[in-house]
Amino acid sequence: MMKSEDYAQGDAFQAEKRTVFSTQALPLCADGQLARPGDFVSATVGGWSVFAVRDKEGAVHVLRNACRHQNMQVVSTPAGNCESFRCRFHGWTYDLQGRFLSAPPPMAPKDLQSPDLHLASLPTAVASGIVFFSLAGSPAPVDVGALPAYSGTVVTEIACNWKVCVEHLLAEHTPSANFTWAWPLLMVRRAGAMTIMEQVVPHTFLRTRLFTHVFGGVADDSKQAAATIKNVCEALQHDRASGKLAADGTLVDDFHRRLAEAYAEDRPAT
């Protein structure tokens, strides 16, 4: 049974970071957002600061966004293109695979050959047009069948807890050939020749980013729908914080059951 504070306080988010987001394959971005070598997308997913980058050979890497000098964020913009990554704090630089390249002499590490100087690389898989990573073992592939060509991604920032957004996106659906939910963060809808994937990015406990990835259509056509999702979720966040919890529904019930299992792993029984 969900409680109001699970949506409105940081404790539940910390529990989710230790359970849900430490053990599952998590989506990070669309493969198509990394079209060219040097393209990157960074995000904090369930409290884990990471970024995906395409290297010069075309491979995609997901790296921890934590400089090996003093653990500060190396990538501070949500997306872009670069030849290498330079930490703005003291100038350590890394290549597109996260390998340490150089540092200014006063800041240079003693052992320039140490493997500990490279950014931590996470198990990565590209499946169904999406880049997945995992903190624990190889991400299990998610198969949603054949996809039309990637058309683009609409990015929406929402002032709500990530669970409010997932509940809203699941609420009107039951599992079917045209709707797939890949627990915990990805919903796939098929509508005629078009496939839309809604990817929830739990940034902080009250900040959520929604990626609407469009395949086989025009990405800008999804902007209005994404704006509506934002407005509805921000109103629902207010409801949750004031004690009005989500209505039942097949997938919402399943979501709550899985969350309860995750919380039980983390919280001692009372």
Footprint of ligand FES (CB under 6 A): 67, 69-70, 72, 87, 89-92
Rounded CA-CA distance 117/245 in Å is: 47
Neighbours of 146 (CB within 10 A): 8
- C-beta of 196: minimal distance to ligand FES in Å? 38
Whose tokens are 């052992």? That residue is 111
- C-beta of 116: minimal distance to ligand FES in Å? 14
Whose tokens are 């097949």? That residue is 250
Phi, psi of 195 (to 5 degrees): -125, 130
- C-beta of 50: minimal distance to ligand FES in Å? 16
From 234, 252, 145, select the one nearest 188 (Cα to Cα): 145
Judged by CB, which is closer to ligand FES: 92, or 255? 92
Judged by CB, which is closer to ligand FES: 70, or 228? 70
Judged by CB, which is closer to ligand FES: 101, or 194? 101
Rounded CA-CA distance 95/214 in Å is: 30
Judged by CB, which is closer to ligand FES: 7, or 92? 92
Identify each DSSP E strand in the chain by its residue range: 26-30, 39-45, 48-54, 60-64, 79-81, 85-86, 93-94, 100-102, 121-122, 124-127, 130-133, 150-158, 179-182, 186-191, 194-204, 207-215
Judged by CB, which is closer to ligand FES: 75, or 251? 75
Rounded CA-CA distance 268/270 in Å is: 6
Judged by CB, which is closer to ligand FES: 87, or 158? 87
- C-beta of 37: minimal distance to ligand FES in Å? 23
Judged by CB, which is closer to ligand FES: 73, or 121? 73
Count the helix, strand and coil residues of the chain and give each as a percent rounded to the nearest 5: 30, 30, 40
- C-beta of 114: minimal distance to ligand FES in Å? 15
- C-beta of 64: minimal distance to ligand FES in Å? 13
* Residue 121 · residue 63 · CB < 8 Å: yes
Distance of alpha carbon 78 from its chain centroid, rounded?
12
- C-beta of 88: minimal distance to ligand FES in Å? 8
